[in-house]
Amino acid sequence: MGLMTLEDFRTDLQSALGDRGIDNPRLDRWINHAYMDLTGGVRFEDLTEINDSETVAGVATISRPTDTRKVLIVKDVTNDNLLGWIPKNEYLRRSSALSGIPENWTEIENLIYLYPKPSGVLSIMTVYLRDPVPLQNPTDLTDISAVWDTVIWMLSVRYGLMALGEEQRASFWLSNALAYIQSKLTEDEIQAMTSGLGRSLPNTMAQLLAAAQNLPSTGG
C-alpha cells in the first residue's frame, strides 16, 4: 500500500505544473492515468489474486472474476494439471464436440474457455492480475508499495503537461519516471514476475520505453 494519499498527489502535481489552479477532477484524471499506466506496464504481486471455481460437465466455460485485468494461470486442481494457453483463433479451429480432461485454455470476452470441454465436475484454480482500484477520495492510497508513489507522481506530471500542450517537458518527466522504474526492477525481479508467462515487460511499458527514447514503438 502506498503512503501518498490522493490529496498528496494533487498537491505535488499542482506544484509541479506551476500552481495554475487546475481543478481536482482534471488532476485526478491525470493521477489515475499514471496509476493505471504503471500497473499495466509492471506486474505487481500486490495485484495478483487466486480464484477457485468448478466446471459443469459438458460446459466449456468458466467465468472469470469481474476485476480481472489479465489471466496468468489456469490449473485443473482435480487432476493436478497446469493447462496450457492457446490463442483464441486456435481454440475456435478445434472441434467443439470433444470432451474429456481439459489441457488448454483461452479467453473470449469475459469467459475462460477450456479445451476439451470438461466431461465432469472439476475444481479449477485461476491466478490473475486484478485492476487496481482508482483513487477517488482525498484519503485514498494506492494498492501497491509506497516505493512506486514517486513514479505515479512523475507520470501524472507527464500526463498533465501533455494535456497542457507542453510535450517537450512531458518527455523529460517520462524519461525520469522510466529511469526510476528501471532502477527499482532488477533482472531477477523481472524474471520472477514473468517466469514462464511471457515477455519481461508487457506492451504498455515497452511503448513507454520507446517513447522515452524517441523510438517508434511496435506495440508487440
Q: Give the residue from 97, 130, 163 where a domain finishes.
A: 130
pLDDT score for 184: 81
Residues 85, 65, single domain; the answer is: yes
- Residue 110 neighbours by CB under 8 Å, 6+ apart: 63, 64, 66, 68
Whether pLDDT at 200 is above 70: no
Residue 119 within a domain: yes
Identify the domain boundary among 130, 155, 183: 130
Question: In terms of domains, do 53 and 105 share one?
Answer: yes
Residue 183: pLDDT over 90: no
Same domain, 201 and 154: yes
128-153: burial string, b at 16+ Cβ within 10 Å, e else: bbbbbeebeeeebbbbbeeebbbbbb
Q: Is the pLDDT of residue 194 over 70?
A: no
Q: What is the pLDDT of residue 10?
A: 98
Same domain? For 16 and 86 the reply is no
Residues 33 and 76 in one domain: no
The pLDDT of residue 208: 60
Which pLDDT belongs to residue 43?
83
pTM for the full predicted model: 0.76
pLDDT, tens only, 18-31: 999 999 999 999 99
Q: What is the mean pLDDT of residues 145-154?
A: 94
Residues 115 and 156 in one domain: no
- The C-alpha R_g of the chain, in whole angstroms, comes to 21
State the residue range of the domain holding 201: 6-44+144-212
Shared domain check, 119 and 54:
yes
Structural domain count, the chain:
2
